[in-house]
Chains A and B, each alone.
Chain A
Amino acid sequence: MKPRLQTSALILCATVCCLIAGWMVGVSRAAEQSADCLDCHRQRNLNSNAGILSAQIFCYNCHQDPASHGDFRASKVSLQVKPEYFLKSPHRLVACIQCHRSVAQSPHRSLSGVKCVNCHPEFFGAAGTHSEHQRVRCEACHTDSPFVILDVANNEVKLSHTNSKLVPISLAEHKTTDVNQQEFCSRCHKPDNQVGAPVAVLPSKSFVCIACHYSPLRMGNPIFLIAIIIAIIGIIGTLIFWFKAGVQGEVSSVHRKFQLGSEVVWSKIFSKEFFPILKTVIYDILLQRRILANGVSRWFIHSLIFYSFFARFVLSFATILFQKIAPEAALTLTLVNKDSPFIATFNDLTGLFILAGVIWAMVRRFITKPEYVATQEQDTIALVIIGLVTFSGFVVEGTRILIAQIPEQVAMSAFAGYLMSRLFSIINIGWQSVYGYIWYTHALLWALFIAYLPFGKLKHIFTTPLSLLLNYKKE
């Protein structure tokens, strides 16, 4: 054989050998990585109860055995699943592999763990519980294990794989918690807990909190109900007083006054008059032209309070809409999370603006006292209530950041609240217990604001725009 031909044959043989060897290694690796049980075992029809129960029995073949175990930190941990517990759980008609999605393979282990959100939407609705527990993993509350820990590094509350003596424990029992029992909350909400929960189990916010916070469409604590009843009585009294006056020449029949009044409103809205009215809404109500005409500093003080409340209300309202329309969207999850950088900064900034406006107004009324500022008792009460509500809000936030041990890089976005938390950390007074009282103080102050709305100076929030609209023709 010629040397060139010999060399070529040798290279060809080597190439073929390399290709065959490479293919075999690849195949064996692929087989190792994706040896899926269901490649050979028949998949049950998981759309039927019979198929699901059959799939469960397949797993029970091993996992019902008390000797079934896994290795965790050099200790044996039971992996026995007891049907007597599982058959009472809400997931009794769910196949094991529908939750433990990555276990049907060799080697037989779960890489991703169970993710509740695969089936249950990430619902952080404002309806009380979930929105306040966003960093708490579902299983930390909804399973029966008493061992729950705060992972400070990941800002996450989750189930512990060890007990209080750091001995590995089994989490395979599948016992779910009855969330309607009172003691359910006290697993975490107890003195000296390690998961950053306040001792008191606090009620949800009320719908009246929407002026500043993303809140549920529910009444909340009874104090808000009392406040609303007082406010409604005040509003009805005001309306009765107003309707004692004549409307369009009618002086006796209230029915006729309503009829004539509503006819005027209708005829204004659905006519060319709508545009001058819109102009009044924009210039006089939104941009507050008439206050500006009285003085720049006066406009500035009022704007610090008005625009901050207005912006907070708009954002809270938009968050409710987003939450209802697209509960799982990234934007919604950002908006409902009060520790997200935007929301935390926005809340603190607007809160500081309100506080600055109140302090500035107080200084003008009691220290600098310009001639045109006529201090009345009603004005002072309104300013004090707004100031106290806002300040107590910062105290609540600071305490929350402190007791929840929110990591610095997260908490820094709420710059004022974070500063408060650092100040509070100097004083050791059991903030976990105090937090409930601070929260109720803030809530009571806001209830006072609501109840006082139709009686004092605060009613100008409604009466001034109404008066401006009725007199829209007067420049």
Chain B
Amino acid sequence: MSDQNVNQQVYWRFSVLQRTVHLIVMFAFIGVGLTGFSMALSSMAPARSFVWFLGGIDSVRYLHRCFAVTLYFCVVVEVLWVLYFKFLLRGKLLGPNSICFGFKDLNFFKEHIKYLLGIRATPPPFDRFAYWEKLDYWTLFIGMQTMGLTGILLWFPEFFSRFLPGVCINLAQVLHFDEAILAVLYKFFIHTTVRHLRPEVYPGDWTIFTGQVTKETIMRAHPGEWALMSENQQGAPVGDQ
């Protein structure tokens, strides 16, 4: 049962920028997946019907590229945000509140496996982001670079074959398709299950849409973060942290 339905103190977890980027990525990812697979699986009747519905192959190809450019635009926004955070806000990129992996995550992973196997009584005291949340973020972020690289080779094959051997275009086609399968399987099944179908948050985790998280959720799921929050921050729900 979701513990977010209880009327209690809430804290900010995601900023408007993070929520907006997630919303755009969510719709663009669905769009790029639908249009991409309808082109890749063009011998199948449902794919052909979908292509017809969207106005033909030219239209689908155009929409696929629009969605892809939108997705990559979000990557650029993330990078710009990191630069702004580091150089203007003088923030710390590494540390307990960071989305970046650290050696501590290896320990968390080991302890979490023990907890899942029943060897340990409680889950480890995760920081702001647990290792699977970091994995969620970085799979998409790194995946976008490889999908973008292979995608742009397929978009402008004449240009790239001026200085790359032709086999690179074939390789790009194979890798683009294979990684698309991987990405869709991961995002539609593992990400959705881990985020929204866990008993604690079922039927859905709305944190990424509302930006808010309850005190109990922080204390239960991110005790490391709660411990690091100053007394002022703990006493100032829905304020700047």
Contact = CB atoms under 8 A, between A and B. Distances in A.
Contacts of B181: none
Contact of B16 (A262, A325, A327): A262
A328 B62 CA distance: 13
Interface string B14-28: 011101100000000
B239 to A, nearest CB: 10
Interface string B48-68: 000000011011001100000
A377 interface: no
B17 A325 contact: no
A328 B209 CA distance: 40
Contacts of B19: 266
A338 to B, nearest CB: 23
A163 interface: no
Contacts of A324: 62
Q: How many residues of B sit at the interface, in one of the four size bands?
A: 10 to 19
A207 to B, nearest CB: 16
Contacts of A325: 55, 58-59, 62-63
Main DSSP-derived SS at the B contact region = helix
A326 interface: yes
A48 B16 CA distance: 56
A266 B240 contact: no
B63 A266 contact: no
B211 interface: yes
A266 B59 contact: no
A256 B240 contact: yes
Interface string B83-106: 000001100000000000000000
Nearest to A262: B16
Contacts of A120: none
A265 B55 CA distance: 36
Contacts of B89: 255
Interface in A66-98: none
A371 interface: no
A263 interface: yes
A91 B17 CA distance: 51
A328 B16 contact: no
A425 interface: no
Interface string A250-267: 000001100100110110
Contacts of B56: 326
Interface string A314-348: 00000000001111110000000000000000000
Interface string A115-139: 0000001000000000000000000
- In the A-B complex, the 9 residue pairs with the smallest Cβ-Cβ separation, listed nearest first, are A262-B16, A325-B59, A266-B16, A324-B62, A326-B55, A325-B55, A326-B59, A325-B62, A263-B16
16 contacts: A255-B88, A255-B89, A256-B240, A262-B15, A263-B16, A263-B211, A266-B16, A266-B19, A270-B209, A324-B62, A325-B55, A325-B58, A325-B62, A325-B63, A326-B58, A326-B59
Given A266-B16, A326-B55, 19 more contacts: A121-B58, A255-B88, A259-B240, A262-B15, A262-B16, A263-B211, A265-B16, A266-B19, A266-B20, A266-B211, A324-B62, A325-B58, A325-B59, A325-B62, A325-B63, A326-B59, A327-B58, A328-B58, A329-B55
